[in-house]
Amino acid sequence: MSRERALQIVVVLVGLLFAAGILPAIWGLRDPVHSDTGDTMQMAIYATLGIFLLLAARRPAEHRSLIAFAAWSSIAHGIVMATLGFEIPSLKTGFVAASAVLVALAILLLALLPPRGSSTGARPVLKAQPVR
């Protein structure tokens, strides 16, 4: 299997995982009094990112920065989750495990990411026409 094909598969899987964040976001909106508004907003952001990752999966080399953002933001989120997990004993198991999954997926995305400038099928740069 080629590196690009492996990247496409991982981007689709991460995109689907992130897009599934729409469900907790909707549940949070249905009962805002008893839900954590921060979690609801975070899930909405992840769902949006997931949809864009699914779109990027067709030509991942052309969407390198989006995939890198998804990976690095997942690492940042994973570090925060792990820290909270160690600080709040009741959250330790779930937060540490979830952060490990996020960081592992992010490292996989970064490892498969094509080098800069290796976009296949690059589109021509449009030059501005002088105004007459």
Instruction: State residue 6's pLDDT score.
Output: 92
Domain boundaries, the chain: 3-112
pLDDT in tens, 22-34: 887 777 777 766 6
> Using 50, 70 and 90 to split pLDDT, how confident is the model at 11?
very high
Instruction: State residue 120's pLDDT score.
Output: 54
Percent of the chain scoring above 70 in pLDDT: 86
> Using 50, 70 and 90 to split pLDDT, how confident is the model at 72?
very high
> Using 50, 70 and 90 to split pLDDT, how confident is the model at 68?
very high
The span from the first CA to the last CA of the chain, in angstroms, equals 52
Cα–Cα distance measured from residue 122 to residue 52, given in angstroms and rounded to the nearest whole number: 19
**What radius of gyration, in Å, describes the C-alpha atoms of the chain?**
18
Instruction: State residue 118's pLDDT score.
Output: 63
Contacts of 42 (CB under 8 A, 6+ apart): 21
Q: What is the mean pLDDT of residues 45-53?
A: 94
